C-alpha cells in the first residue's frame, strides 16, 4: 500500500493507483470528464488538475500515479479557478440546450421535444404519457392555451414554430375517444388524505398530481359541478363542455373523490379539514380571499400569502395555489401552480425538503443565423399546416407536423457531468466566445444518436468501442480546432456501434451520445386501445 496526503488528509491506496482515485477516496470530487475507470487516461479536459509538492505547475490527476509520501493539493482557490476556466473552455464550444426553449417557456415544464418525437414516430400513447406526467388537463389546455411555448420555439427562427399546442390537443382528444383512455401510473398508496378546496384548473391539477404521488385526494367545490372558472370564462366554441367533463372524469377515475356544494367558511372550516386530512391545498380562486381571511389565512389584497419555497400558508400543512395566491389569467399557469402545490404538499407529508426555487444551471444554443437556418431547412423542410379539425386530422399529417420539431434539449439533462460541475463551479457558459460552431446534424443509429454539438471530444466512447471489439467503431476525425468524434470511412453510426452502443451511452459525460427518445420511451404505454 502507498501512503500519501490529499489536502493534508492521509490516504492509503494500492501502488499504481491514480492521484484522481486517491483524491476521490479522500472526498474530493474532481471534474475528470475525460476519464473512465479501467481505461487509460486521456488527460484532455484538464478538469482534474492538482498540485504536487516538489513539482512545478499543475498535473492532471487522472494521468499521475501515487507515490509514497506524496503531498497533493486539490481544493485550493487557485486550483478551483483553473478548473472553472477548463470547464468554461469546454462550454464555449458546447452547442446544445440543456432544456429546449419551449420547455423552459412552458409554465408546467412539460417535455415538449419528447412528446413531439414520440408523436412523429406514431407512438401516440407514449407521447400522451409524456404530456400527462406534467399536465392534468391536456385537451382543455389545447383549447384555451395561448401557445406560450411556441413563442420561443427555435423552429420559429427558421420559418414557423412547431404546432406544439395543437398536437398536444390531438393526442389528448384522440385518447379521450377511446374505450380505454390512458391512465397514468400512480405511486403506491401513502395512506394519507389531502383536501383540495376548489376545483378550477389549479385545484384539478393539484388533485391529479397528489394522486400520482400516491395520496388520496378529495375535491371540495362550492358549486354543484367541478371545473371552477373553466365553466364560466370560456364559450362552448372555445372549450366544449363535453371535453372538460371527460378530462375531469379521468381525474375521478384515477381516484379523486368530490364533494360539491360545500363552501369554505359556511359548510366546512379549515380547522375541521385540518383534523380530517393530513394536508390541505387551497385553490379557491380570486373570489376566495375573504373566506380565507376569515379562516385565519394571512391575506394581502385578497390573495393568500405563501412561502415561495414551500407554497405553505401561515398555517402548517395548509398550502395555496393558483388564483388564491396571485392573478393567473392563463389557465396553463394555474395548472402549473396546482402541480407545484401538490409537489410541495407531498414533500411536507414525506418530511422531505421542499423543491428548490433556484434556477438550475443551463446552457442555451446561440440564435440560429442565416447559414444555420439554410442548413436546417434542408433537413426539416415540412411547412407548418393547420388541419381544419385537429381532433379528427389525418394521423400521417399530424406525424409530419410533429417531425418539424428540431429536437432541442438534452436527454441527459439530469445526468450530464458537464452541467453538474459547471453548476458546482459557478461557471459562465459564454465567458469565452470563439467562432460559432457550424451546425451539424446528429448521427443516427436505430437506437442511439450522436450530437456533434454536445460532444467535448473526451475520447471515452472511442476507447469503449475499441475495447469491445467494434470492427469500425468511433474515432477522432479532423485536426486542430476542427477535430470531432465520428465514424471512420464515412460509415454510419449503425455500422460503428454493433455492440458497444449501450456502454458508450452510459459513459458519455454530456449526453452527446444518447438513446433515441422514440426508442427509450417505455413500450407498455403503447398498448393498443379499442377506438370508441
Question: Cα separation of 377 and 391, whole Å?
Answer: 28
The tens-digit pLDDT sequence of the chain (532 residues) is 999 999 999 999 999 999 999 999 999 999 999 999 889 999 999 999 999 999 999 999 999 999 999 999 999 999 999 999 999 999 988 888 999 999 999 999 999 999 999 999 999 999 999 999 999 999 999 999 999 999 999 899 888 999 999 999 999 999 999 999 999 999 999 999 999 999 999 999 999 999 999 999 999 999 999 999 999 999 999 999 999 999 999 999 999 999 999 999 999 999 999 999 999 999 998 788 889 999 999 999 889 999 988 999 999 999 999 999 988 779 999 999 999 999 999 999 999 988 776 678 888 887 877 877 777 777 667 788 876 666 567 888 899 999 999 888 898 899 999 999 999 999 998 898 766 666 677 888 889 999 988 999 999 999 999 999 999 999 999 887 788 999 998 899 999 999 999 999 999 999 999 998 876 555 556 655 444 3
Question: Cα separation of 221 and 252, whole Å?
Answer: 14
What's domain 193-350's architecture? 3-Layer(bba) Sandwich (3.50)
Q: Computed from CA positions of residues 98, 100, 104, 108, in that sequence, does the dihedral angle turn out positive or negative?
A: negative
Strands (E), 112-226: 193-197, 216-221
Question: Cα separation of 230 and 223, whole Å?
Answer: 12
Q: Where in the chain is the domain with CATH 3.10.20.740?
A: 2-75
Question: Cα separation of 443 and 500, whole Å?
Answer: 16
Question: Cα separation of 216 and 196, whole Å?
Answer: 10
- For cell 400543512, name the residue: 317
Helix (H, G, I), strand (E, B) or coil at 58: coil
pLDDT at residue 436, as a whole number: 61
pLDDT at residue 204, as a whole number: 98
Q: Give the closest residue to 451 by CA, choosing from 363, 386, 512.
A: 512
Q: Give the closest residue to 510 by CA, choosing from 451, 465, 430, 466.
A: 451
Find the length of the chain: 532
Q: Provide the total of helices (H) and of strands (E) in the chain, helices listed first.
A: 19, 17
Q: Where in the chain is the domain with CATH 3.30.70.20?
A: 417-523
- For cell 379539425, name the residue: 389
96 phi, psi to nearest 5 deg: -175, 155
Query: The C-alpha cell of 236 is what?
Result: 362552448
pLDDT at residue 467, as a whole number: 96
- For cell 379562516, name the residue: 295
Question: Cα separation of 508 and 456, whole Å?
Answer: 10
Judged by phi (left if over 0) then psi (alpha if -120 to 50, else beta), residue 47 lies in: alpha
Name, in order, each residue with C-beta under 8 angstroms of 335's C-beta and a sequence gap of 6 or more: 107, 108, 135, 136, 137, 141, 201, 202, 204, 205
pLDDT at residue 390, as a whole number: 63
Question: Cα separation of 64 and 92, whole Å?
Answer: 27
Question: Cα separation of 351 and 332, whole Å?
Answer: 29
Question: Cα separation of 53 and 71, whole Å?
Answer: 5
CB 115 within 8 A of CB 127: yes
pLDDT at residue 206, as a whole number: 98
Whether domain 417-523 has CATH 3.30.70.20: the reply is yes
Helix (H, G, I), strand (E, B) or coil at 13: strand
Question: Cα separation of 108 and 334, whole Å?
Answer: 9
Name, in order, each residue with C-beta under 8 angstroms of 263's C-beta and a sequence gap of 6 or more: 222, 291
Q: Which CATH number fits domain 2-75: 3.10.20.740, 3.40.50.2000, 1.20.1250.20, 1.10.150.20?
A: 3.10.20.740
Question: Cα separation of 286 and 302, whole Å?
Answer: 7
Q: Render 376-415 in DSSP notation, one character per residue.
A: HHHH--PPP---S-GGG--HHHHHHHHTT----S-TTTTT
**Residue 69, class by beta-carbon neighbours within 10 Å (0-12 exposed, 13-18 middle, 19+ buried)?**
exposed
Helix (H, G, I), strand (E, B) or coil at 219: strand
pLDDT at residue 202, as a whole number: 96
Q: In this structure, are strands 475-477 and 484-486 parallel, antiparallel, or unpaired?
A: antiparallel
The distance of Cα 75 from the centroid of its chain, to the nearest Å, equals 32
340 phi, psi to nearest 5 deg: -65, -35
Helix (H, G, I), strand (E, B) or coil at 474: coil
**Residue 353, class by beta-carbon neighbours within 10 Å (0-12 exposed, 13-18 middle, 19+ buried)?**
exposed
Q: Where in the chain is the domain with CATH 3.50.50.60?
A: 193-350
Helix (H, G, I), strand (E, B) or coil at 343: helix
CB 338 within 8 A of CB 204: yes
pLDDT at residue 381, as a whole number: 73
Amino acid at each position: 500500500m502507498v501512503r500519501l496526503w490529499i489536502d493534508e488528509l492521509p490516504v492509503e491506496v494500492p501502488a499504481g493507483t491514480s492521484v484522481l482515485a486517491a483524491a476521490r477516496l479522500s472526498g474530493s470530487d474532481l471534474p475528470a470528464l475525460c476519464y473512465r475507470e479501467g481505461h487509460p487516461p486521456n488527460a484532455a479536459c484538464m478538469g482534474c488538475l492538482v498540485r504536487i509538492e516538489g513539482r512545478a505547475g499543475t498535473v492532471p490527476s487522472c494521468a499521475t500515479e501515487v507515490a509514497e509520501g506524496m503531498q497533493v493539493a486539490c481544493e485550493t482557490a487557485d486550483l478551483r479557478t483553473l478548473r472553472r476556466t477548463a470547464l468554461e473552455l469546454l462550454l464555449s464550444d458546447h452547442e446544445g440546450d440543456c432544456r429546449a426553449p419551449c420547455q423552459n417557456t412552458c409554465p408546467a415544464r412539460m417535455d415538449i421535444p419528447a412528446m413531439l418525437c414520440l408523436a412523429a414516430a406514431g407512438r401516440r400513447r407514449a407521447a400522451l404519457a409524456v404530456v400527462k406526467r406534467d399536465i392534468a388537463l391536456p385537451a382543455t389546455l389545447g383549447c384555451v392555451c395561448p401557445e406560450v411555448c411556441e413563442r420561443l420555439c427555435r423552429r420559429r427562427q427558421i420559418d414557423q414554430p412547431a404546432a406544439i399546442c395543437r398536437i398536444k390537443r390531438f393526442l389528448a382528444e384522440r385518447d379521450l375517444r377511446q374505450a380505454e383512455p390512458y391512465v397514468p401510473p400512480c405511486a403506491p398508496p401513502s395512506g394519507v388524505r389531502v383536501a383540495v378546496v376548489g376545483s378550477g384548473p389549479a385545484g384539478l391539477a393539484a388533485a391529479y398530481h397528489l394522486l400520482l404521488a400516491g395520496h388520496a385526494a378529495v375535491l371540495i367545490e362550492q358549486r354543484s359541478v367541478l371545473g371552477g372558472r373553466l365553466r364560466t370564462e370560456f364559450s362552448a366554441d372555445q372549450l366544449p363542455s363535453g371535453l372538460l367533463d371527460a378530462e375531469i372524469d379521468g381525474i375521478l377515475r384515477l381516484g379523486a373523490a368530490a364533494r360539491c356544494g360545500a363552501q369554505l367558511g359556511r359548510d366546512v372550516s379549515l380547522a375541521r379539514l385540518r383534523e380530517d386530512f393530513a394536508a390541505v391545498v387551497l385553490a379557491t380562486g380570486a373570489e376566495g380571499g375573504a373566506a380565507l381571511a376569515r379562516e385565519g389565512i394571512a391575506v394581502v389584497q385578497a390573495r393568500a400569502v405563501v412561502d415561495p419555497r414551500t407554497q405553505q400558508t401561515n398555517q402548517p400543512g395548509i398550502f395555496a395555489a393558483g388564483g388564491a395566491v396571485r392573478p393567473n389569467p392563463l389557465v396553463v399557469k394555474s395548472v402549473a401552480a396546482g402541480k407545484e402545490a401538490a409537489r410541495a404538499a407531498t414533500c411536507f407529508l414525506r418530511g422531505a425538503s421542499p423543491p428548490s426555487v433556484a434556477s438550475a444551471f443551463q446552457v442555451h444554443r446561440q440564435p440560429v443565423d442565416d447559414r444555420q437556418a439554410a442548413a436546417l431547412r434542408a433537413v426539416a423542410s415540412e411547412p407548418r399546416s393547420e388541419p381544419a379539425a385537429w381532433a379528427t386530422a389525418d394521423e400521417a399529417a399530424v406525424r409530419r407536423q410533429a417531425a418539424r420539431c428540431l429536437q432541442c434539449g438534452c436527454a441527459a439533462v439530469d445526468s450530464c457531468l458537464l452541467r453538474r460541475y459547471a453548476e458546482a463551479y459557478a461557471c459562465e457558459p459564454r465567458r469565452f466566445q470563439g467562432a460559432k460552431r457550424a451546425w451539424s446534424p446528429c448521427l443516427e443509429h436505430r437506437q442511439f444518436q450522436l450530437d456533434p454539438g454536445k460532444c467535448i471530444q473526451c475520447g471515452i466512447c472511442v476507447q469503449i468501442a475499441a475495447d469491445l471489439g467494434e470492427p469500425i467503431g468511433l474515432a477522432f476525425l479532423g485536426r486542430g480546432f476542427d477535430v470531432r468524434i465520428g465514424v471512420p470511412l464515412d460509415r454510419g453510426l449503425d455500422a460503428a456501434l454493433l455492440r458497444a452502443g449501450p456502454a458508450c451511452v452510459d459513459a458519455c459525460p454530456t449526453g452527446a451520445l444518447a438513446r433515441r427518445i422514440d426508442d427509450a420511451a417505455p413500450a407498455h404505454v403503447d398498448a393498443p386501445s379499442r377506438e370508441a
